């Protein structure tokens, strides 16, 4: 079995970017970033074209990250108005509902423009204007994209909260962002199960610090019964449908905020990652064009949720800025059965398909038959994102799903990056299963050792990016200091990704996973500190330590060690209660997969929890505990080993 997969014949000939293009343009992009990005910026429609291209310094003293600083534009105009003359009747969004027999929607660019304008007008009438924050807590329905673009149209800053988050998590995000309005739906649907979205919002708004919210707009989706608290709560259709179909777009400076998206870090509460208008949109659209080789007749499907950055950049902003047809899927890969993805591919003749390794692994477990019974002839390109893809899953994706015909783009990037930083360009690079291959234009990755020395040639260490790129986040909302400290303090003059990586003899990058206290569960980032804080909020818990462990389907699972308050008794009921408690505090995605009682946690004499040891116990590798001589009480470890998972 070869571990290098050449660009399939025929693909290179029609590719948006060939190997020669890449080599020439990449060299230019790092030699003359101003010239390069000034030229690429012309792919957007500017109200005032930028003359300043790049104002960046990673130094603590004069720290700044600004791109196209004197340019003006509106993101919704770029995603909608710009296409009306040439593509008004082209389908912008295809909606595929949870229920395969449910109603499919084909929303044209003209129709999407009108929907966005109506909501934009409605928001303005409700007193929302430039710079105001709007929380979006919606299922994967057309209104989610409409809501994001309507905010962009009037200059409001959207903050999308994933539908799998609980009332507490909504409240945290509302409090941090000071949102004035929430757009939600009665209920969501996933694999025929109902998600009580409006009820979660109601519960969130009963929590302290959420009184900034004046209005809740409620989309009627399932028709399920909800409590409407007048005058705060308004039905979306009642407020929006009667509005005019046109709406004056706000003139936005390139550096005006477009959105805030919360993501987990290694410490404390989730951070509000702030992205601005010009650089973000340019980077989303350009990466989408180059990495996905998008053509006018493609049907493009990214299976992410708009609650994550992948949904922002590669369901909404990138594809729509490029005038593409983007499919939104409400459901899950396993409903009604393991064939669903491929049935949707056939039904809508999807040509480009982008999903996460966790989905591939889960489907691979169901065997080849659910795939083989579908045609998939329309597919020409496959993508992967969210976590490292193991070579076995990569090969199954390539051989069984793509029948050896479709290149795979394994795209590495982060919420903080706005768009793809390391990925094959499918017409340019031979791929290797498990490698994200080479940097995108203008991106200069490097690998450093713990002391910050830049390593050369074949090496392994921490992944940093040496220079800025337009889609880079600009700050942690409301906390510039935390932004600097998190990403620029560890290695002065470089952006630290939090990931480890290896570079091989061909210069290909292999991402090895997080090197900080973030775990990646089914492609979702969860901070161990967040789960720990949730656990210790429970009155019976004295202390908790959370680590990741290898999980066949999810990539990583959540392993929690819990020490109870003196006098409390360990029981299976309490264990269930604690898992339910975490679901309530954060959301189902943070449920511990395994919870172990810990009479005590392994600590150094200075009281630091030795996570390295907890990770090894969770990995079921008791022979690799390493040096335990600095432990205050080594007998603690023996007690944990006896009760570990798999012991």
**What residues make contact with ligand 6R9 under the rule CB under 6 A?**
263, 308-310, 384-388, 410-415, 436, 497-499, 511, 513-514, 520, 523, 525
> CB-wise, 162 or 441, nearer to ligand 6R9?
162
d(CA 25, CA 640): 55
Q: Give the residue ranges of the annotated binding site for CoA.
A: 190-193, 310, 522, 583
> CB-wise, 442 or 523, nearer to ligand 6R9?
523
Report in angstroms how near the CB of residue 187 gets to ligand 6R9 at its nearest.
Answer: 25
DSSP 389: P
Which residue is it, tokens 């080594």?
634
Residue of 250, 28, 226 lying closest to 117 (CA atoms): 250
d(CA 517, CA 531): 11
> CB-wise, 412 or 477, nearer to ligand 6R9?
412
> CB-wise, 118 or 503, nearer to ligand 6R9?
503
d(CA 574, CA 580): 10
Decide if 153 contacts 112 (C-beta within 8 A). Answer: no
> CB-wise, 180 or 312, nearer to ligand 6R9?
312
Decide if 158 contacts 324 (C-beta within 8 A). Answer: no
> CB-wise, 499 or 517, nearer to ligand 6R9?
499
> CB-wise, 142 or 302, nearer to ligand 6R9?
302
DSSP 9: T
Report in angstroms how near the CB of residue 384 gets to ligand 6R9 at its nearest.
Answer: 6
Report in angstroms how near the CB of residue 163 gets to ligand 6R9 at its nearest.
Answer: 16
Report in angstroms how near the CB of residue 507 gets to ligand 6R9 at its nearest.
Answer: 17
Report in angstroms how near the CB of residue 527 gets to ligand 6R9 at its nearest.
Answer: 12
Report in angstroms how near the CB of residue 611 gets to ligand 6R9 at its nearest.
Answer: 18
d(CA 115, CA 183): 15
Pairing between β-strand 524-527 and β-strand 541-551 as defined by DSSP bridges = unpaired
- The tally of CA atoms less than 13 A away on the side-chain side of residue 74 is 22
Decide if 180 contacts 215 (C-beta within 8 A). Answer: yes
Helix or strand (DSSP H, E) at 184:
strand 181-185
d(CA 420, CA 129): 31
Report in angstroms how near the CB of residue 436 gets to ligand 6R9 at its nearest.
Answer: 5
Q: Give the residue ranges of the annotated binding site.
A: 190-193, 310, 386-388, 410-415, 499, 514, 522, 525, 536, 538, 541, 583
| Residue 190: alpha-carbon gap to chain centroid | 19
The number of beta carbons lying within 10 Å of the beta carbon of residue 635 is 10
d(CA 166, CA 279): 32
> CB-wise, 151 or 302, nearer to ligand 6R9?
302
d(CA 569, CA 134): 44
Report in angstroms how near the CB of residue 124 gets to ligand 6R9 at its nearest.
Answer: 32
Token code pair at residue 42: 């012309």
Q: Give the residue ranges of the annotated binding site for ATP.
A: 386-388, 410-415, 499, 514, 525
d(CA 577, CA 585): 12
């Amino acid at each position: 079995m070869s571990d290098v997969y050449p660009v399939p014949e025929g693909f290179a000939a029609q590719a948006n970017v060939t190997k020669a293009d890449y080599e020439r343009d990449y060299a230019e992009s790092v030699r003359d970033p101003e010239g390069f990005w000034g030229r690429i910026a012309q792919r957007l429609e500017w109200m005032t074209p930028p003359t300043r291209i790049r104002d960046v310094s990673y130094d603590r003293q004069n720290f700044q990250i600004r791109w196209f600083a004197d340019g003006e534009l509106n993101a919704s105009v770029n995603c909608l108005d710009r296409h009306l003359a040439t593509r008004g009747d082209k389908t912008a969004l295809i909606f595929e509902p949870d229920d395969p027999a449910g109603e499919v929607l084909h929303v044209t660019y003209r129709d999407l423009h009108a929907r966005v304008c109506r909501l934009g007008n409605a928001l303005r009438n409700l007193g929302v204007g430039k710079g105001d924050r709007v929380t979006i807590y919606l299922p994967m329905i057309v209104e989610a994209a409409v809501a994001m673009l309507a905010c962009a149209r009037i200059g409001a800053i959207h903050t999308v909260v994933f539908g799998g988050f609980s009332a507490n998590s909504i409240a945290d995000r509302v409090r941090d962002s000071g949102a004035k309005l929430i757009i939600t739906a009665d209920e969501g649907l996933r694999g025929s199960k109902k998600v009580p979205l409006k009820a979660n919002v109601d519960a969130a708004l009963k929590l302290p610090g959420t009184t900034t919210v004046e209005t809740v707009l409620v989309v009627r989706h399932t028709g399920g019964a909800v409590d409407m608290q007048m005058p705060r709560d308004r039905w979306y259709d009642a407020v929006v449908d009667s509005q005019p179909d046109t709406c004056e777009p706000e003139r936005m400076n390139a550096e005006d905020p477009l959105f805030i998206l919360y993501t987990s870090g290694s410490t404390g509460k989730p951070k509000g990652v702030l992205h601005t208008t010009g650089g973000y949109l340019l980077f989303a659209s350009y990466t989408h064009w180059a990495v996905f080789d998008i053509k006018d007749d493609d049907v493009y499907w990214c299976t992410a949720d708009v609650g994550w950055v992948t949904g922002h950049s590669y369901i909404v902003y990138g594809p729509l800025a490029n005038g593409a047809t983007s499919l939104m899927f409400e459901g899950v890969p396993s409903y009604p059965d393991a064939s669903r993805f491929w049935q949707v591919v056939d039904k809508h003749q999807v040509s480009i398909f982008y999903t996460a390794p966790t989905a591939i692994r889960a489907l691979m477990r169901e065997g080849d038959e659910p795939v083989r019974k579908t045609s998939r002839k329309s597919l020409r390109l496959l993508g992967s994102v969210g976590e490292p893809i193991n070579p076995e899953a990569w090969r199954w994706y390539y051989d069984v799903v793509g029948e050896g015909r479709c290149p795979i783009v394994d795209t590495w990037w982060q919420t903080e990056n706005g768009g793809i930083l390391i990925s094959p360009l499918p017409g340019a690079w031979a791929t290797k299963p498990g490698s994200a291959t080479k940097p995108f234009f203008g991106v200069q990755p490097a690998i450093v050792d713990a002391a910050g020395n830049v390593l050369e040639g074949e090496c392994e260490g921490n992944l940093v990016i040496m220079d800025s790129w337009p889609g880079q986040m600009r700050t942690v909302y409301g906390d510039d200091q935390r932004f600097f400290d998190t990403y620029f303090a560890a290695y002065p003059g470089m952006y630290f990704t939090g990931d480890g990586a290896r570079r091989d003899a061909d210069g290909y990058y292999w991402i090895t996973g997080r090197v900080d206290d973030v775990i990646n569960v089914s492609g979702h980032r969860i901070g161990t500190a967040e789960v720990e804080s949730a656990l210790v909020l429970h009155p019976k818990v004295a202390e908790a330590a959370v680590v990741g462990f290898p999980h066949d389907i999810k990539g990583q699972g959540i392993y929690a060690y819990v020490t109870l308050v003196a006098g409390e008794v360990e029981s299976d009921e309490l264990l269930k209660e604690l898992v339910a408690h975490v679901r309530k505090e954060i959301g189902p995605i943070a449920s511990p997969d395994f919870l172990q009682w810990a009479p005590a946690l392994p600590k150094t004499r200075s009281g630091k929890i030795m996570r390295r040891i907890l990770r090894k116990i969770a990995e079921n590798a008791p022979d690799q505990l390493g040096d335990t001589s600095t432990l205050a009480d080594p007998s603690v470890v023996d007690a944990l080993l006896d009760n570990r998972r798999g012991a």
